[in-house]
Amino acid sequence: MEWSTISLLVLSTLSKGYAWDIQAIKEEIYRMPENLAEQMQQLYRQFGNIAGITIELHKELLAIKVENQAASALIFLQGAQLVHYQPVDDKPVIWCSPLCDYREGTPLRGGIPICWPWFGDLTKNPDPVQSSIDATSSVQAHGFVRNRPWQLTNVEAVNPTLTRINFSLQLETQQEKLWPYATSLELQYTIGETLSLQCDITNNDAQAVSFSGALHSYFSVSEIDQIAVQGIDGLIYIDCLDDWNPYQQQQSLLINREIDRIYHGKTDDISIIDKNYQRVINISSEGSNSAVIWNPWQDKAKRLSHFAEDAFREMLCIETANADKDYKTLQSGESHQLGVTISSTRITTSH
């Protein structure tokens, strides 16, 4: 193995807190598949000289770590999935389970998974979405792009407090058995005092396609039954735990049990009020008229993979979505952008 590869492995090992543990470095070297070593070298050649950028290896998955004067973040190439975002002088805003196994092809529990081209259980999706998916048997929830390797196409340190990261996933005709359409997904993260994520989906196929999806954001909270969700008062929601019956939200949402709801309407400005952490997490969405709010609570938490039994207390999903009747249909050549901007502000006496 070339010394350049060993040097990268040393950097990767150091980034995981081993310090100068030579035995750990050796073990990392011998475990690392040759293709990962080559890919890591290439990424460092392309982006390693950019301020605040480190390429990391977490077991079988490569990630790009971003550190600037405003915030830090960690994004995996598998699924182009961000798993960490933390502004300077604040607690982490995005939650990710410490029990993730970082195996190729296995979804990571937490962060912001890109759910596409269907959201949730495929059989619960509208008929046009189901008709676009070539499924002859049961399939996993939330589509397949969160399991696929994305291409890291650009990294830009815009200024000392702002970094942009771009990913691309190009799907050719008949490349995916479940989705045999030519489609491109372009993803841009902007990391600074706020975190923004923009996903551009373009239908390059000759026929129209229908899909649902979500930016499945897991937020870090102090204590789930001590927070309030604002910005949804008066909205109609579908209660997925009550036979998908519709109800209307009254006032702020307080959570003291399992929740799985799809809110419809003006969902572009939602906030998590967390008095214990003395902050408000603001979630501003675009290209979306639906938001999914989810917490498994204690009974379901015991059945989830890579999820501690008490982890439900420290997370809440508020997902910028195109779910249920908010699914999208693109004609040939058309595009759709789904985006979210996330910020954390100190709490004020008005909340």
| β-pair type (269-274, 328-330) | unpaired
- Give the amino acid at 209: V
Largest CA distance in the chain: 63
Taking each helix axis from N to C end, the angle separating 3-15 and 22-31, rounded to the nearest 10 degrees, works out to: 120
Does 298 fall in a domain? yes
- Decide if 179 is inside a domain: yes
Q: What is the pLDDT of residues 231-271, one digit of tens each?
A: 999 999 999 999 999 999 999 999 999 999 999 999 999 99
| Other C-beta atoms lying within 10 Å of the C-beta of residue 313 | 18
Note whether residue 62 is domain-resident: no
Tell me if the bond preceding 117 is cis, omega within 30° of 0.
Answer: yes
Look at residue 276 and tell me whether its pLDDT is greater than 90: yes
Indicate whether 300 belongs to any domain.
yes
Decide if 187 is inside a domain: yes
Whether residue 66 lies inside any domain: the answer is no
Rg of the Cα atoms in the chain: 20
Q: How many C-beta neighbours within 10 Å does residue 116 have? A: 24
Q: Per-residue pLDDT tens for 53-81?
A: 999 999 999 999 999 999 999 999 999 99
The type of residue at 169 is L
Q: Considering only CA atoms, which of 196, 200, 155 is closest in space to residue 64? A: 155
Q: Which amino acid is at 168?
A: S
Residue type for position 163:
T
| pLDDT, tens only, 293-345 | 999 999 999 999 999 999 999 999 999 999 999 999 999 999 999 999 999 99
- CA–CA distance, 74 with 63 (Å, rounded to integer): 7
Range of the domain at 122: 112-346
Quick check: 218 and 94 in contact, CB under 8 A? yes
Say how far apart CA 167 and CA 81 lie, in whole Å. Answer: 10
Instruction: Tell whether 190 is covered by a domain.
Output: yes
- CATH code, 323: 2.70.98.10
Cα–Cα–Cα angle for 224, 230, 231, nearest 5°? 145
Q: How far apart are CA 293 and CA 270, in angstroms?
A: 11
**Is 339 part of any domain?**
yes
pTM for the predicted model, two decimal places? 0.90
Q: Number of structural domains, the chain?
A: 1
Cα–Cα distance measured from residue 257 to residue 216, given in angstroms and rounded to the nearest whole number: 20
